[in-house]
Amino acid sequence: MQIISTIAEFQKWRRQVENVAFVPTMGNLHEGHLSLVREAKKNADAVVVSIFVNRIQFGEGEDFDQYPRTLQEDAEKLKEVGADIVFAPAEQELYPDGKQHYFIEPPLLQNDLCGKTRPGHFRGVATVVTKLFNIVQPDVACFGKKDYQQLVILTGMVRDLNMNIRIVPVAIERAEDGLALSSRNGYLSPEERCQAPELFQTLQTMATQMQQGHTDFIALEKMATSKLNQQGWQVDYIEIRQALTLAKAQKSDKNIVILAAAVLGRTRLIDNLEVHLLHA
């Protein structure tokens, strides 16, 4: 495995390789990321993992500065799981004059769900992913379902801008107690970590209720929200949506995703659960 830090050096390597599967990350890797790499390996001759903490997707007051930079440990994990290239550019490599001038502007979905409290976040994600796609020239790119809204937005971007790249969605990796793996779990205190599985448990309860025929989605969302708030969370949103478009789900929809974002202590966690309903 090779660690490459400049675009020029990467392009030199890229010319020698036919098919590439790509996993963009911000580093601080856990089993969730490694499952992306394992999936990527099934899809191409070589796997490129980028590690880049992308300033333009963080809002003011967010955790850009404190976001963990752990390149050495990350590289060891990636070597073990069989990545071919770690592309870890310095900030000035992607933003040579310190800022981005041209942006990929996603549709209104960027201001919904997580976008409501993180203005500009998905624009920053779409833009850096486009830049990385243009550098890496992948045939396949793997994204985790953990960031479900991101996955939907990037899948739409690839289609709408005619990028010749196949997006492979990868299932969420969870701890044994159900908590979705996330770099931000590291911000939790031991007590918060014990409580954190409540978020996924709430989604599971909702899914069961829907499977049992509850069709008043708004009532389900409200019940789940108030229960979590009672348990000490500050719920940002819990929403029942169409899985493909993230439009509000209707009673007749079959492919559903329940998405949630909630703050525990000072840490904002997100999770989601796909539900396939069998209507009579």
Binding of a copy of itself at residue 115 (CB under 8 A)?
no
Among positions 160-179, residues that touch a copy of itself (CB under 8 A) are: 160-164
Among 156, 202, 210, 240, binds a copy of itself (CB under 8 A): 156
**Catalytic residue of the set 33, 101, 121, 276:** 33
Those residues with Cβ within 8 angstroms of residue 227's Cβ, 6 or more apart along the chain or in another chain: 202
Q: Please confirm, yes or no, whether 33 is among the known catalytic residues.
A: yes
| Among the listed residues 212, 208, 183, 179, the one whose alpha carbon sits nearest the alpha carbon of residue 196 | 179
Among 1, 7, 17, 167, binds a copy of itself (CB under 8 A): 7
Binding of a copy of itself at residue 16 (CB under 8 A)?
no
| Beta-sheet strand order (sheet of 140-144) | 2-4, 85-87, 46-51, 20-25, 140-144, 166-170
Residue 164 vs 212, nearer CB to a copy of itself: 164
> H or E stretch including 24?
strand 20-25
Binding of a copy of itself at residue 251 (CB under 8 A)?
no
Shortest distance, position 103 Cβ to a copy of itself, whole Å? 5
| Gap between the Cα atoms of 217 and 242, Å rounded | 12
Residue entry with tokens 């060891």:
76
The length of the chain is 280
> H or E stretch including 276?
strand 267-276
Binding of a copy of itself at residue 134 (CB under 8 A)?
yes
User: Residues 64-103: x/- map of binding to a copy of itself (CB under 8 A)?
Assistant: ------------------------------x-----xxxx
Residue 139 vs 274, nearer CB to a copy of itself: 139
Determine contact, residues 105/123, Cβ cutoff 8 Å.
yes
Number of residues interacting with a copy of itself: please give it, by CB under 8 A. Answer: 26
Shortest distance, position 6 Cβ to a copy of itself, whole Å? 12
Shortest distance, position 15 Cβ to a copy of itself, whole Å? 11
| Gap between the Cα atoms of 57 and 61, Å rounded | 12
Binding of a copy of itself at residue 44 (CB under 8 A)?
no
Binding of a copy of itself at residue 194 (CB under 8 A)?
no
Residue 9 vs 31, nearer CB to a copy of itself: 9
Determine contact, residues 56/9, Cβ cutoff 8 Å.
no
Cα distances (Å, whole numbers) of residue 274 to 178, 212, 229, 251, 256 = 15, 15, 23, 15, 6
Binding residues (CB under 8 A) for a copy of itself: these are 7, 11, 94, 100-107, 126-127, 130-132, 134-135, 137, 156-157, 160-164
Q: Which residues are catalytic?
A: 33
